[in-house]
Amino acid sequence: MNAFTALLAMMIFPGGLFLLASGLAYEWADRKLVAQLQNRQGPRWFQPLADTFKLLAKEEVVPDGVHRGLFWGLPVAALAAALTAALYVPMAGLAPAASFPGDLIVAIYMLSLLTLCLGLAGANTYSRFAVIGATRTLTQLFSYEAPFMLSLLGPALMAGSWQISSVADYAAGHPWMLLTQPVGFVVALIGLMGKLELPPFDAPEAETEIVSGALTEYSGRGLALFRLGKNIELVIGLTLVSAFYLGGVANPLAFLLKTLALLFILAVLQSLFARLRIDQTVGLWWRVGALLALVQLLVVVVLKGMGVL
């Protein structure tokens, strides 16, 4: 890859502009769907973009007592991590910009880095809401991370590779793993909701308890960057799950249809439940989620060992 194509990949597609635009578009689709399900009107199509511009233009208030470097740097690191993760994922159904054996692990950890930045950003301030939000963010990280990872390893084991593109290729050539590994699919989907702190897993940013959680003290640019990072995480998460479980994303049309279908399921799940307390979230993941994912993984390993698959 020469310097020009590398720059193109990072700035325009699949990283950079394309990713930002699709992140905003998916955020809008998510908000609109949830609003419609809740019998509300929902935002206009350019609302996420308008929000972003508004936040970028606002003065950023740096509260007393924070580490200024961290306060400025964490949102940048979070967004950078999300953007980097996208390079290994078959965005829009096209081949990933960069690929090497084991990039699945890198991509997953890049996405966790974003959550870690969020937690640190909360712990960096003196605000009690932010500190509690940070504690909850990190607690939640430890609860969904392992099951989510295990649920993505199932398809990887089937494909015999830890390279995202080859798993996606394998998925495209075989029956949908949604059918062969339904448990893994459910765990992955709900893990994604936990990762994105969507309702009912929004205890880390429960507005009626702790205002805005870890991001309470962020107002301008930092908040905009964190929001963009989360939107990108949403797109990447949807892409990963549909590439692994919904028979790959072979072309842009399949990508669009499959991710939007997943988003619809996410929106329905978001509007169906009351918020879980953080202890309920942890209990759910470690008593049910992790166990189910492990059983699924075990079944795959055993069947593969017996040569059935």
Which of residues 2 and 208 has its CB atom nearest to other proteins in the complex? Answer: 208
**Type of residue found at 302:** V
Considering only residues 157 through 176, tell me which ones interact with other proteins, judged by CB under 8 A. Answer: none
Q: How many residues does the chain have?
A: 309
Q: Which stretch binds other proteins (CB under 8 A): 97-105, 123-131, 166-174, 300-308?
A: 123-131
How far apart are CB 220 and other proteins at their closest, in Å? 20
Whether the CB-CB separation of 196 and 237 falls below 8 Å is answered with yes
Site for other proteins (CB under 8 A): which residue of 53, 54, 273, 295? 273
How far apart are CB 233 and other proteins at their closest, in Å? 21
Per-residue x/- track, 46-75, other proteins (CB under 8 A): -------------------x----------
The SS3 of residue 39 is: coil
Distances (CA, A) of 4 to 12, 89, 93, 150, 209: 11, 20, 22, 37, 49
Other beta carbons within 10 Å of 306: 8
Distances (CA, A) of 77 to 52, 118, 182, 241: 18, 10, 35, 24
Structure tokens at 71: 């306060």
How many Å apart are CA 159 and CA 250, to the nearest integer?
A: 16
How many Å apart are CA 93 and CA 209, to the nearest integer?
A: 40
Q: Which stretch binds other proteins (CB under 8 A): 10-18, 88-96, 112-120, 205-213?
A: 205-213
Which of residues 47 and 166 has its CB atom nearest to other proteins in the complex? Answer: 47
Site for other proteins (CB under 8 A): which residue of 277, 292, 301, 303? 277
Q: How many residues bind other proteins (CB under 8 A)?
A: 30
Task: Please tell me whether residue 251 binds other proteins under the rule CB under 8 A.
Answer: no
Q: Which residues bind other proteins (CB under 8 A)?
A: 37-40, 65, 126, 128-129, 132, 135, 199-200, 202-203, 206-211, 271-280
